[in-house]
Structure 1
């Protein structure tokens, strides 16, 4: 235990462990991983036995180090999740002592004590390697949230659950989404605000898949809120999603990394030279054998097929998949409670959807156009639930004529069959 404390202590060592991308850093990162696994084993063992006062104090001294690791940009998601879970476990664990403690001890409410014990067990299970045990830990945590237990720290638990969205096991991931929805139901402002911040990813720390999972969690929480999705909550979600969908967001870090990689490749070619003639000959023969080229170096004409590359946005622009996800979140917001969304957000959402249909005509943007048509449908259907009069109060007749015009143009000219079909159905519904 003391050795582990020395390994984990001292923030001045962390910068060198996570800042540089070289072989030495890799081995240092492995050392951090080993130390965390040791700590996990020790803390898990202490859960079922009595520990000394010295060990209790040592565990508390690890908290600053764990907090640093969980927030450091250079640390990967799994490490951040483990450190956050360990920190929360240590802070909530009421470790019994071997002997009496001087001074008066305030009696602890039996219900709170049981809830604290349940929380400790849940946090212990969440770090287990077995999927069913992690899933059971989520169920225990969700039970505490339903009870509005005072032992649940909303912000810390939300951060932990967001980290767990990166879990590769779909069974666990879906459980995390359900738990987040339950937490958002009880604390909508805090949870949705944190989810939105992570989804925007201002510091560009997350991958596309992780952001899309956060988007799914956002959709689930909005659906769960129902008519409670009003006021500041609806305005915050709406404005952020409109901004993401409308290509206002730039990915400066991504663009810089691509430029640096290109420059590095050019420098490497200049330094090492082009491929030698023998290697070029071997490569040419391999391409002919694979059917890519024919004799003489001419390329074989192959049938055009769809692949993932067509959905990838240009460098520096927000990814098309994230933009489509943002439009989907907006759609769910209007389907759930359109009357609770501020008029300004509603008009901005319609404007973004129409501009996408008019201006973004590329094949790679078809998924965004599909989401745009669906958003227009969600806005109109959501507002019409309260009657046509209420619909016209938000979207005037002149604007409805613009919507019909753009959708008619899309139905006639779009190169994506699904977009044309969706637009046609909506036009027919509006012109009946």
Structure 2
């Protein structure tokens, strides 16, 4: 193990580097031309040979205002901005920002001058630090164009995205790429530098025809030299799939997911359904492609989202003469372990040749697509839509000029444009569509009846045009009657709810077919038509409609659509394998329903589901969940706050501290969102719970028992090195001692202090965790800020009293965060009194002179004796604010000062004086009181003022 660099040596090295930079920078831009050239060369050499991790903190010190001349400072700022273009510049910038950002709890070492080194086991990353680092990396500096900037940092970010440096940094890279670069229109739209350097490399590894590099002909291969040149190696194909999967799963943005995956829909299908794939091929190619395909199809809003796959079921590459290069997927060996992309012949195979060579693939491919449809479909209507679209296209190929006679045209104009003349009679397409129709009818008989009106309209128009003389050759009639049988035998079908005109058309067609005679096949068809006609006539008499069906029939169309949206959202969120983009899309759908105040929402169930999601440690999804809580609080404040409080207080002691803190953050934002409506029973309920949580009397017996068990385990571990101990135990103790020996005295002292603080947060003897208590005080301070009148005199005064007791009775080092929160609460209380007075609102309570003196005395004591620097600074700030408020309380409120000063020259508003004869009976107090304000006297009263 390498010895750590002592902080004193690191501080001295950084001081020397800073001095060298200042001296050389001043000389390089100085007036002496002879010295300037030499200094510029020396400065350049120093910057080049200094490691990035050492140069970053040094340059940040140099650019502080006033340290060097402005011209030199501008030069160093430019050098600092260009550091990410170094080979390790992106990693160094991320590590530096994470280590020194104020939100990082472990930034004390960096602030003290400790060296910033790459972390082996992931980074100490907070969301605030991540946002700052993203802004730095996603904004090209003035010295570099956007093309050069993104071209320089793209390989580094994509390498981090691979996960070799840890999953935490892979998520960081996904955030920077997804939110910072591809999420911005100026850099993330197709054709922009961000898209070209981040999206196109991943997409081109799956489809070489995507991106500008393909359009400008740079990838064209001379087929005369090599008929099967490798365009993309097997390693690059696997790498592109892996990077796409990491980016999309780590970045739950449905819009970006659609933009990235839409161009490679068919390539993803080809890879995900690769036939005879080995275990290695399944892991490296098929599974990532299948995951991406599921995500795209789930969040895609188009009803015919799977139709391109159905029409090109055997897709293996691009052979479009309008695209270059023409390519296809190919296994690199007979064992089907790896897949690469090779150039394809310019002449595509004929349909007959494809059927002859790849006939055995049609069955497995169609089964794979049916399985995929079953997985991604959350509504019967999805399957029905795909089936009807596919059925219409199949019929249009069989009878392209047929019109149903009931207003349904089998070939729409746009479909006719999509279906090229040579494609309309393509036997390969007919076979693929026919196979899929058969598979879907076998797999989803009950789901195909999800849209009975459309199917009946289609079947009625076609049956009315059947010719009895050609019934034996018409292969569409058996299929039409099979569809009709599926619909009319489904439990939800009622003849009374169907269109009477369409039913008459169907009955006429069935009657005509039932009278036909001829070969055995025709007789069998006629018999089936007769049975269907009889069943259709007496369908409603077979089953009585249930009350539930009557309610559904009476429901409005909007309610039906809302129910479908709600069911879709719930399925996206609750499915066990739903990736973050799909869950985020489900939250989007719920947000739309909440904003529309939909009646289909089950508020208690929705609150429980949001709470279960907030329990999970997924930052991006948690932000969306907290937004849902704030929206629900608009209409249901009591239920929402009660749900959050139950999890935050955690009376059953079932949750971890970090989980409770997330519920505290949600409660904080709900209180802020409620604003002036934070009052009444809701405010009393929240305030009382927060006061009890922040207090010192809370006892948690289960936590106490757990702490006792942990204490016993520590004692046993401390006594493990005893006579007769095993060799492994002795080796472990020696390892621990060796690690301690490598630390300096200063590091060991600092670690001991940090250990005491962290250990003290847990609060011995089963009391409430210090972090939770500090969080409760912070939320309570926010409630006082937004609406102190809603909390009332009892809760407000209780909060102030609790804060003063914390400052006086809990001076321990580990309670520093608690004392900070207590001082902020006092400041919020004073500020709320001031704002209410300025707005002319009477609260009915305030601070007496004695209370003000007590608060100032305690704060002055804390400012002079506390060991925590932030507590001292907060105390000084609140002292200044309270003294200023005392002075302003002698003057009238802003709403009254103008009128008073105009009439009486500014003297009428002084506290203790009443110069207004009209209001001579009103007595003005020098300061408000916590008791109810005194009502005006009925008679004039004379007061003696010293």
TM norm. shorter chain > 0.5 = yes
Structure 2 CA distance, aligned partners of 1:51 and 1:225? 50
Cα pair 1:165 1:176 within 8 Å, conserved: yes
1:278 Cα offset (Å): 4.3
Structure 2 CA distance, aligned partners of 1:240 and 1:51? 55
Number of residue pairs matched by the alignment = 346
Structure 1 CA distance, aligned partners of 2:603 and 2:710? 41
Q: How does 1:271-420 map to 2 (within 5 A)?
A: 276=725, 278-279=727-728, 281-283=730-732, 285-292=734-741, 302-305=748-751, 306-307=754-755, 308-387=758-837, 390=842, 393-420=845-872
If each structure's helix is expressed as a fraction of its own residues, which one has the higher value? Answer: 1
Cα pair 2:806 2:819 within 8 Å, conserved: yes
Q: Assess, with a 3 A threshold, how the Cα gap between structure 1 residues 126 and 274 changes in structure 2: closer, same or farther.
A: farther
Structure 2 CA distance, aligned partners of 1:399 and 1:380? 12
Cα pair 1:231 1:342 within 8 Å, conserved: no
1:43-76 Cα deviation digits (max 9, x unpaired): 97563357869xxxxxxxxxxxxxxxxxxxxxxx
Structure 1 CA distance, aligned partners of 2:768 and 2:725? 40
1:109 corresponds to 2:556: yes
Q: How does 1:59-74 map to 2 (within 5 A)?
A: none
Corresponding position of 1:89: none
1:386 Cα offset (Å): 1.3
1:303 Cα offset (Å): 2.7
1:60-105 Cα deviation digits (max 9, x unpaired): xxxxxxxxxxxxxxxxxxxxxxxxxxxxxxxxxxxx9565563263
Cα pair 1:177 1:217 within 8 Å, conserved: yes
1:373-424 Cα deviation digits (max 9, x unpaired): 0011111111221117947833322212211111111111111000000110
Structure 2 CA distance, aligned partners of 1:331 and 1:270? 46
Q: How does 1:53-92 map to 2 (within 5 A)?
A: none
Cα pair 2:770 2:818 within 8 Å, conserved: yes
1:232 Cα offset (Å): 1.1
Q: Assess, with a 3 A threshold, how the Cα gap between structure 1 residues 375 and 140 changes in structure 2: closer, same or farther.
A: same
Corresponding position of 1:210: 659
Q: How does 1:120-199 map to 2 (within 5 A)?
A: 120-127=567-574, 129-199=578-648
**Structure 1: gaps of 5 or more residues:** 1-40, 54-95
1:300 Cα offset (Å): 11
Structure 2 CA distance, aligned partners of 1:231 and 1:315? 36
Structure 1 CA distance, aligned partners of 2:749 and 2:709? 34
1:238 corresponds to 2:687: yes
Structure 2 CA distance, aligned partners of 1:223 and 1:253? 33
Larger radius of gyration: 2
1:302 Cα offset (Å): 2.3
Structure 2 CA distance, aligned partners of 1:248 and 1:136? 44
Q: Assess, with a 3 A threshold, how the Cα gap between structure 1 residues 289 and 157 changes in structure 2: closer, same or farther.
A: same
**Structure 2: gaps of 5 or more residues:** 1-372, 384-443, 448-489, 495-542, 885-946
What SS does the corresponding residue of 1:385 show, helix, strand or coil? Answer: helix
1:47 corresponds to 2:489: no
What SS does the corresponding residue of 2:748 show, helix, strand or coil? Answer: coil
Cα pair 2:707 2:766 within 8 Å, conserved: no
1:281-308 Cα deviation digits (max 9, x unpaired): 53454345434389xxxx9982323253
1:17-48 Cα deviation digits (max 9, x unpaired): xxxxxxxxxxxxxxxxxxxxxxxx98975633
Structure 2 CA distance, aligned partners of 1:269 and 1:369? 34
Corresponding position of 2:499: none
1:226 corresponds to 2:675: yes
Cα pair 2:704 2:764 within 8 Å, conserved: no
Please provide the CA RMSD for this pair. 3.2
Cα pair 1:347 1:395 within 8 Å, conserved: no
| Higher alpha-carbon deviation: 363-372 or 163-172 | 163-172
Structure 2 CA distance, aligned partners of 1:183 and 1:404? 41
Structure 2 CA distance, aligned partners of 1:179 and 1:193? 15
| Higher alpha-carbon deviation: 195-204 or 349-358 | 195-204
| Higher alpha-carbon deviation: 153-162 or 392-401 | 392-401
Corresponding position of 1:430: 882
Structure 2 CA distance, aligned partners of 1:286 and 1:205? 35
Q: Assess, with a 3 A threshold, how the Cα gap between structure 1 residues 97 and 42 changes in structure 2: closer, same or farther.
A: farther
1:189-217 Cα deviation digits (max 9, x unpaired): 11111211221111111111110000000
1:167 Cα offset (Å): 2.6
| Higher alpha-carbon deviation: 151-160 or 97-106 | 97-106
Structure 1 CA distance, aligned partners of 2:825 and 2:652? 28
Match of 1:247 among 696, 699, 707: 696
Structure 2 CA distance, aligned partners of 1:398 and 1:176? 45
| Higher alpha-carbon deviation: 43-52 or 220-229 | 43-52
Cα pair 1:287 1:293 within 8 Å, conserved: no
Cα pair 2:789 2:843 within 8 Å, conserved: no
Structure 1 CA distance, aligned partners of 2:445 and 2:653? 42
Q: Assess, with a 3 A threshold, how the Cα gap between structure 1 residues 284 and 204 changes in structure 2: closer, same or farther.
A: closer
1:227-253 Cα deviation digits (max 9, x unpaired): 100111111111111111112221111
Structure 2 CA distance, aligned partners of 1:245 and 1:288? 39
Q: Assess, with a 3 A threshold, how the Cα gap between structure 1 residues 285 and 238 changes in structure 2: closer, same or farther.
A: closer
What SS does the corresponding residue of 1:206 show, helix, strand or coil? Answer: coil
Normalised by the size of structure 2, how large is the TM-score? 0.34
Corresponding position of 1:259: 708
